[in-house]
Amino acid sequence: MTEIDARLREEVHLLGELLGETIRAQLGDAFLDKIERIRTGAKGGRRGSQAAADQLGETLDGLREDELLPVARAFNQFLNLANMAEQHHQVRRQAPGEPEPFENRVLDELLPRLLAGGADPAELASRLAGLDIELVLTAHPTEVARRSLIQKYDAIAAELAASDHDDLTERERAASRLRLRRLIAEAWHTEEIRRQRPTPLDEAKWGFAVIEHSLWRAVPDMLRDLDDALLTHCGQRLPLEAVPVRFASWMGGDRDGNPNVTAEVSRQVLLLARWMAADLHLRDIDRLQVELSMQDASAELRDAVGDHAEPYRVLLKPLRERLRITRDWAEACLRRPVPEPEGVLRDQHELYAPLALCYRSLCACGMAVIADGRLLDCLRRAAVFGLHLVRLDIRQEAGRHAAALDEITRFLGLGHYSEWDEAQRLDFLVRELDNPRPLLPVDQPLAPENAEVLATCRLIAATPAAALGSYVISMAGAASDVLAVQLLLKEAGLRRPMRVVPLFETLADLRGAREVMARLLALPSYRARLAGPQEVMVGYSDSAKDAGTLAAAWAQYRAQEELVTLCREQGVELLLFHGRGGTVGRGGGPAHAAILSQPPGSVAGRFRTTEQGEMIRFKFGLPQIAVQNLKLYLAAVLEATVAPPPEPEPEWREEMERLSADALAAYRGVVREHPGFLEYFRQATPEQELARLPLGSRPARRREGGIESLRAIPWIFAWTQTRLMLPAWLGWETALRNALQRGEGALLQDMRAHWPFFRARLDMLEMVLAKADDEIARLYDERLVRDELRPLGQELRDLLSQAEQVVLDLTGQSRVFEHNPQTLEFISVRNTYLDPLHLLQAELLARSRQSGTEVHPPVEQALLVSVAGIAAGLRNTG
């Protein structure tokens, strides 16, 4: 087994020791001894000691009710501290002779490789500067940590970085240790879990805080590194106006199945973003005014400000005042609508132009070294974040638009839109889109849910285009779903183009995506309204829940191929929007490998993808880690554009069809057709409890019903808590076993060696299997599942074992993920702290269910803390 880096191990030990001191100070030596017995019992149990396992069980069984919460908190806190140490280790100073992390050197390795492959330096630099990557930040219904606690963890990471010097004196080390102990004590004495469900506005504030505390600094740092790489390898600088990466958000705009997101909520989120953008830019300008005290200026700048001793400060003073007016106006509008006063910034150019003029003047006067300092960072932020910080997407379910149109057609005496076939709908929609008159009188009342749809459309019409991204239609399955939104936007007064994006997210919808888009693009009036690329969203979460990850992945790949071909034939630029989650069961996994495994031609300088709650925190919560992950995106999108992966061989396609069919039948045979599956799922996992815990603003279900009504995130999250990880692997075991039995092992090996798509899926499957644990899942069954359903649990664990074995047979390893021993060691270390939480959670679930509807607050709080701790320990959980 590969040892974890000694410095990381030392830091984890130090943080654990300081946490122990904090616990002892509050709860005493006896309680800390009990925590240590639990830890050593879990560690010994993992090593096969039955005596240690018995000791662990006895200690947990003997906990008093008032000890449940502090025990859960202790292990939860340790796992979060371990995360902080790992994050710091990822970006820490390198020891002499130690290689740079891959994320740091990815561009410096890629550019020479592409140049050696025949790329022209000037063209390569142009391609890189012209990349259009948009990361769409979304809320996470299973993000359980409070923002105040996350900020304390960030402070701990910052202190670890500050003390990462070999030449610190003993006094300095003691002071650093004291600061760490104080921060850990602050975290320990802060309640981990919010007591009330967050509102959509709370979620938006959380997302904006990530921008303020991390991305605001990370973006210019990343662009500096990109500029250096381009100059070194291509002999060119990154243009000032280049925006290869930008950000959008669903927080406060995603109303699909979330009645808490209204037009008024979206209005407030838009204003909050406007306020924060003005405030952040204002802070930058304040600092710039201190720095730019120079007298020399270009004729261009002198013409703008006249003859002054400090021309740069004179130029920036009006901009500073306009930013203040904009900020104050947006803040006032959050309380009540206020007319825009004179001076409010309305166009990004009004922010960018004065800064660019200062930059040109400094460079012209021999002060480029000053221009390339803070001023350059301000220019980069102005280009990337603009006046609106992020572009807000609007998402709504297709049925809501159909319901609104149904009420409108009934009012007009035209019949029931909901009962028309696709041809009738298209005929009506095309005719009305071309008709300049409105459909409804201005004051025509509608049912509240339909009035809300139109209110959202009116908000869009009244909002600057730069503040908005796309209008995403979930559960889209027909061309009429897109035209319906366009008609409702027209009715609301929108007179500019807006990208209306169908989201294909079930297996049937993915398979029908080409036909839907072909029908749309065949309409001359639709083509005339199309401004910019045709955006199509591919849903990973619901397709995987519908069909299993193997069949869904192949359907997603095929749909992208077909859409690329269709748009190429139609002469239309295509932008694919990837709705990926954090975990493998929702299309997650390493972004770099995922992008490089997309179909050739599907990543053509453009890439749009969701980044969800907990992964936002892990990938972008600290500036240096954010820089690394942004570089990975840049490198992967550039490589997929310039040197796309090969077309799959015909025999690979045929094999994927066989694998997909076998996996789909196996997955649905369990999830849809087994008569006891739904009840087993509800008994064996914390699914029911998750639905009532204050995790996110969105309900866990779209509607009442079975598995089909459950959202993909809690579906995945519930299985992750028990370590069965079922949605991420179910179906693979049957498909791969059948292929090997047919004698297709050599073909599978060939696919794994030469096809990035297949290799990436197998790698992600291995990662899931490395985290799965059939013994932990069995413990949940023994404590929670009725006798008649336990055989199903055993069947599922047998299937998990089969999945592990077939992967070993295919890869030739003796242990899953053997090629990544450090990750296995990380998992092993974490298991010592996860095992007690799993056992405690199973006990808490049992107590909660025995007490019926009246759950004791200590039990409920300890249960939620156990959920948080397991999520922290496993990271990509939902």
Q: Are 1 and 821 in contact (CB under 8 A)?
A: yes
Q: Hey, is 612 helix, strand or coil? A: strand
Distance CA(375)–CA(249), nearest Å, equals 27
Query: Virtual CA dihedral for 14, 15, 18, 23, nearest 10 degrees?
Result: -140
Q: Are 137 and 210 in contact (CB under 8 A)?
A: yes
Q: What is the DSSP letter of 349?
A: H
122 to each of 126, 233, 245, 638, how far by Cα in Å?
6, 10, 20, 14
862: left (phi > 0), else alpha (psi -120 to 50), else beta? alpha
Alpha-carbon Rg for the chain, nearest whole angstrom, is 28
Distance CA(96)–CA(856), nearest Å, equals 55
The residue among 5, 39, 217 whose CA lies nearest residue 839 is 39
Q: What is the DSSP letter of 705?
A: S
DSSP code string of 716-734: HHHHHHTT--HHHHTTHHH
The residue among 544, 560, 649 whose CA lies nearest residue 603 is 560
Catalytic (active-site) positions: 140, 545
End-to-end CA distance of the chain: 29
Neighbours of 76 (CB within 10 A): 27
Task: Please provide residue 286's backbone torsions phi and psi, each rounded to the nearest 5 degrees.
Answer: -60, -45
Q: Are 736 and 748 in contact (CB under 8 A)?
A: yes
Burial class of 253 by CB neighbour count within 10 A (0 to 12, 13 to 18, 19+): buried
Q: Are 305 and 315 in contact (CB under 8 A)?
A: yes
Neighbours of 648 (CB within 10 A): 21
DSSP code string of 254-292: B-TT-TT--HHHHHHHHHHHHHHHHHHHHHHHHHHHHH-
Q: Which residues pair with 212 in a beta bridge?
A: none
User: Which amino acid belongs to residue 730?
Assistant: L
Q: What is the DSSP letter of 530?
A: -
Number of alpha carbons in the 13 Å side-chain half-sphere of residue 46: 18
Q: SS3 breakdown of the chain: % helix, strand, coil, rounded to 5?
A: 65, 5, 25
Residues in contact with 695: Cβ distance below 8 Å, sequence separation at least 6, in sequence order? 141, 142, 143, 144, 197
